Amino acid sequence: METSILKSTKKILGLADDYTVYDHDILTHINTAFSTLTQLGVGPDAGFVVEDDTVQWASFIGTDTQLQAVKSYVYLRVRLMFDPPQTSFHLSAAKDQIEQLEWRLNAHREETEWTDPNPPVVEEEVP
């Protein structure tokens, strides 16, 4: 299985590895998808950027098998921006899948990394 984020995204878009005409466009869309994931709280706090075909999925996903959905999410986001479906049915189905993946990834993040935004205040005893 291809481990390069750019190469695997190109493959699923139906583009050959050595066909680099659209690499800039695809990289722009990949980074937009990762920006959205960062805003959802998925991935590194500082964000994640793919600049070429050397960046691997493991750099983002690590060993968390629950984050494998990130691959589909990035692909669907890129597909909608790079080559959107021609029918409203396919467009709607892709958007529904994106929403479901966002919910699932966010739920996983809350399950594993959630911190209380309003932690209880512990009052110190005054001697």
Residue at 43 is within a domain? yes
DSSP-derived secondary structure for 53-82: TT-BHHHHHTT-GGGGHHHHHHHHHHHHHH
For the chain, the domain total comes to: 1
Range of the domain at 29: 5-112
Sequence-separated (6 or more) residues with CB below 8 Å from residue 33: 73, 74, 77, 78
Whole-structure pTM value: 0.83
pLDDT tens for each residue of the chain, 127 residues long:
779 999 999 999 999 999 999 999 999 999 999 999 999 989 888 999 999 999 999 999 888 888 899 999 999 999 999 999 999 999 999 999 999 999 999 888 887 776 667 777 887 777 6
Amino acid at site 20 = T
Q: Is residue 38 in some structural domain? A: yes
Position 43, amino acid:
G
For residue 91, being part of any structural domain is answered with yes
121 found inside a domain: no
